[in-house]
Amino acid sequence: MRVKEIALTLWDLLKQPELAPKAKANYKKSKSRPMQEKYDALVETMKSTYGFRIRKWRNSMSGCAWELKDRRGNVSRMLESPYPKGPMSCAIFLHEVGHHAIGFHVYKPRCLEEYKAWEWSLQAMEANGIRITERVLKRRDDSLRYALAKALRRGLKRVPEELIQFLPQHMQLTP
């Protein structure tokens, strides 16, 4: 007597008998996702163009880009960001890539570097045919307001002209 023919519990009697699996050729192929393919290609292009490594794909909508230098002077470029799956995560990813593209410590003060990285990010989105949504623009504006307010709290004396539009509402520019 075969074990499979004996019901081990009463629930086994209620189960439908297992049918032989259908041939895989009969199953419909899942729809391809052209936008995700575009995002995947963008990630690979950016990694090969700017020579950075992904340390970690974040679950949150935040990112970080940095460079490490060893004793010999070799530079390792690192990045953490959400994996691009939509316009917002793509904008954040490209913003972090923008830090590598424009270079670190090229623009002073730091809030101007943030502005340039966002500017680079939006240009890259446009060049790659990725939609720039209102939410992406709001995220950029909020990020730059935060960066400028932080710089002002830390004693920034002169606000760069590009960032005047991002001054916090309670602050006024004195000539």
The stretch 111-118 carries a mean pLDDT of 97
Q: Is 41 helix (H, G, I), strand (E, B) or coil?
A: helix
Q: pLDDT band at residue 33, thresholds of 50, 70 and 90?
A: confident
Q: How many domains does the chain have?
A: 1
Structural domain contains residue 96: yes
CB 63 within 8 A of CB 92: yes
The stretch 16-31 carries a mean pLDDT of 51
Neighbours of 7 (CB within 10 A): 11
Structural domain contains residue 160: no
Structural domain contains residue 24: no
* Whether residue 107 has pLDDT greater than 60: yes
Strand partners, 86: none
Structural domain contains residue 23: no
Helices and strands (H, E) in the chain, number of each type: 5, 3
Structural domain contains residue 124: yes
Structural domain contains residue 4: no
Structural domain contains residue 1: no
Q: pLDDT band at residue 32, thresholds of 50, 70 and 90?
A: low
Structural domain including 132 reads 33-155
Average pLDDT, the chain: 87
Neighbours of 119 (CB within 10 A): 15
Nearest residue to 123 (alpha-carbon basis) of 139, 101, 107: 101
Structural domain contains residue 172: no
Tell me the pTM: 0.79
> Which parts of the chain fold into alpha helices (H)?
10-14, 34-50, 87-102, 110-127, 134-153
* Whether residue 16 has pLDDT greater than 70: no
Rounded to whole angstroms, the Cα distance separating 73 from 80 reads: 22
* pLDDT over 90 percentage in the chain: 75
Whether omega before 160 lies within 30 degrees of 0, making that bond cis, reads no
pLDDT of residue 30: 44
Of residues 89 and 175, more confidence is placed in: 89
pLDDT of residue 169: 73
